[in-house]
Structure 1
Amino acid sequence: MNSISLVLFEDNDRLRESLVFLLNNTEGFSVLADYNNCNDAASAVRIYKPDVVLMDIDMPGKTGVEGVRMVKEAMPFTAVIMFTVFEDEDKLFECLCAGANGYMLKKTPPGKLFEAIQEVKDGGAPMSPSIARKVLNSFKHIRSTQYNLTPRELDVLQLLIKGYSSKMIASELTISFDTARSHLKNIYTKLHVNCGKEAISKALIERIL
């Protein structure tokens, strides 16, 4: 079996050297080159043509986000995994929009990182669990805003899914029975459904909550 070839961009020398050592001494992986910045990322991937790039975000000179763009413009089919300490959504989506194929945190155990490299080589999109949750939550938010559901309507819909009746919803949210029914009517209209069962089905299938 051919080894997965890699190029690393990481400004923490100790971490980078450790990764190079671990990968080169693990069957199935081969580090072709490593850099402490990504200023010449395009040239590097053109020269070495790696299967996978490991890219830090916060580096001197050009950022890892810029590095991803350069790699993808030079070698579109090279997979890029962000390897970073950043868990905030802004950095995450900047990288994904720039073309990153995976997003792993530096606290990831080596074995999980190796699995992620194999996964991205096979066409997957590996992400650390906390990062994957952020992506899923973001899509849920997009779904809910797509139907213009208000925060209160989302509360009502969540209780409806749990099996609450209109009377129980009113009691749980400390609102009048008529207000609860009004919220439900608005939810049905916005979701383009005719009853509670259809609303529940659509909410679950489309992961609105």
Structure 2
Amino acid sequence: MWSNTMTTIPTKICIVEDNFVIKEGYKILIDSISKYHVVNTYTSCEEALDNIESDAPDVVLMDLELPGMSGIEGIGRIKKKLPKANIIVVSLHTDKESVFQSFNAGAAGFMAKAVSYSDLLDGIDEVLQGGAPLSKEISRMVIESFQRNTDSPLSRRETEVLEKLAEGKSYSQIADELFVHRETIKTHIKNIYIKLGVKSKANAIEIGRHNKYI
């Protein structure tokens, strides 16, 4: 006799997190929800990448600060292997650069590690429905970036340089990240000072933030 009862296949989830307590906490929480199943947990991107195709998760919870390969690089590599996987970053690092690099690599959502368990579960639900789950502070950051002053006297590259200065980066670090010579960065900064009418990095950053140029 055939049964009319249909069995719902649980959503498969992988966790990439090197903190054992956090990783196990997420696993216990998620596995307590019948519609979800944690297929595997990993402490590094390298371990995850070795098995990600056989795990075939629908959702990956990804930390950024990991031993070996960074979470951002891991996101890109997972998306190459499983383009349809929904990757949600759950990280202590919630600075603008980490957030936007994560999305550029292919993340579908970004949540601060201080997120409550209920918000984490809501985030998983949201991403499965095609949304982009964000913690409140991350949402605010994204909104502010779109509210940037369009009348800025700075060019796109000058804005980029000033943003990195505001993040505390050195001239050499900025040059490396933008793939240009250090002297090019010095020229950009000289132009920024002239356009903003300032004589110091601190003043440039202050005016840039006050006027929403960055």
Normalising by structure 2, report the TM-score: 0.66
Alignment length (residue pairs) = 148
Take 1:41 and 1:66, find their aligned partners in 2: how far apart are those partners?
Answer: 12
1:49 match? 56
Aligned twin of 1:79:
86
Is residue 10 of structure 1 aligned with residue 17 of structure 2?
A: yes
Work out whether 1:26 is the aligned partner of 2:26.
no
User: CA separation in 1, counterparts of 2:131 and 2:88?
Assistant: 11
* Aligned-CA RMSD value: 1.7
Say which of 127, 140, 149 aligns to 1:133: 140
**Larger-gyration structure (1/2):** 1
1:131: Cα distance to partner? 0.1
The superposition leaves residues 94-142 of structure 1 with CA deviations (integer Å, 9 ceiling, x where unpaired) of 101111000011111111100100110111100001101101111111x
Is 1:101 equivalent to 2:100 in the alignment?
Answer: no
The CA distance in 2 between the partners of 1:119 and 1:2, in whole Å, is 18
On the 8 A contact 1:41/1:70 being kept in 2, the answer is: no
CA deviations on 1:52-109 (whole Å, 9 max, x unpaired) are 0000000100010011011101001100000111121011111011110000111111
**Which runs of 5 or more residues in structure 2 are unaligned?**
1-7, 155-214
Q: Which amino acid aligns with 1:118?
A: D
1:58, 1:93 → 2: CA distance? 15
Partner amino acid for 1:91? S
**Cα-to-partner distance string for 1:145-168 (whole Å, 9 max, x where unaligned):** 3x4479xxxxxxxxxxxxxxxxxx
Distance (Å, rounded) in 2 between the aligned partners of 1:125 and 1:42: 23
User: Does the residue aligned with 2:88 lie in a helix, a strand or coil?
Assistant: strand
SS at match of 1:39: helix
Per the alignment, residue 177 of structure 1 pairs with: none
**Secondary structure in structure 1 of the residue aligned to 2:147:** helix
Letter in 1 for 2:96: E
Cα distance between partner residues in 1 of 2:153 and 2:139: 24
CA distance in 2, matches of 1:55, 1:107: 14
